[in-house]
Structure 1
Amino acid sequence: MSLVIIKRAIPEVFMGAVSKDTTNAKDYLAEIEKRFVKSDKAETNTILKSLISMKYKGNDNIKKYIIEMSNLASKHKALKLDLHEDLLVHLILISLPVQFNHFKE
């Protein structure tokens, strides 16, 4: 009975994503979940792109900007892709304008 209710509630567009041989609600929902799982690779790509392309524009507090970059790195770490601390420092330094970047050798 649960399966009939679920099939009536789910839009027809998703019906093709699940095998017609599924006979119980639990398996049916598990198949739908497998088909529409969020891709960690896509999220990793998005976070890494934003981390690399960030530039300090001088509008906000520099400390707030660095914390924002650190938070992005933490999200990356949560996806089990750890950025080395030296790399994060390097990304922060190259994203700063020249007047803040007197540490370059």
Structure 2
Amino acid sequence: MDLDYALRVDEPAKLTDNSTAEEKSIYEKWERSNRMSLMIIKHSISDTIRGAMPEEENAKKFLSEIADRFIASEKVEACTLLSKLVTMRYNGKGNIREYIMEMSNLVTKMKALKLEFSQEILVYLAVGHVKKDCPKYHKWLAKKGLSKEPDTQ
């Protein structure tokens, strides 16, 4: 049995009184495959996902709609993870190891969504280095003649 036939082949033209035996055979094969595919798909996904999807009689279109929904939810998840990663700061209290493990976990989830960051950005985010407070940065600016070193009082 060719269960995936309806997923590989577009729906043939609807049958009419003038349809040939070959056209009827092809349509019946596609229709059976489509029904079986829909049944398998709908029984394989969770009730939550199935309930959120509009009723569809074409297995290929149904899978396409599911894919579109997941792409949208991946974008939301990526934004949420990125926001979490950027706003995380170690406040000097608690276990630094847990803080680093939490950041590593967020980066792993982002990699699964195909979002990659350079090592420098991750170090910057982990350390929370702020240039305006950095004595080395102020010395570098002074050396370039762009600013004077901060006053030490």
| TM-score bracket, shorter-length normalisation | 0.5 to 0.7
Cα RMSD for the two superposed structures:
3.3
- Deviation of the 1:85 alpha carbon: 1.0
Runs of 4+ more than 6 Å apart: 1-4
Asked if 1:14 corresponds to 2:47, the answer is no
Q: TM-score, normalised by structure 1?
A: 0.60
Asked if 1:70 corresponds to 2:110, the answer is no
Structure 2 unaligned segments of length 5 or more: list them: 1-34, 137-153
Larger Rg: 2
Contact 1:76 1:83 in 2 (8 A): no
1:60 paired residue number: 94
> How many residues are matched?
89
- Deviation of the 1:31 alpha carbon: 4.7
Cα separation, 1, equivalents of 2:90 and 2:82: 16
- Deviation of the 1:58 alpha carbon: 3.9
1:68 is paired with a residue whose SS is helix
Cα separation, 2, equivalents of 1:13 and 1:80: 26
Change (3 A) 1:58 1:77: same
Residue type matched to 1:37 in 2? Answer: F
Deviations 1:41-60 (A, max 9, x none): 21111111000001223443
Asked if 1:33 corresponds to 2:69, the answer is no
Structure 1 unaligned segments of length 5 or more: list them: 96-102
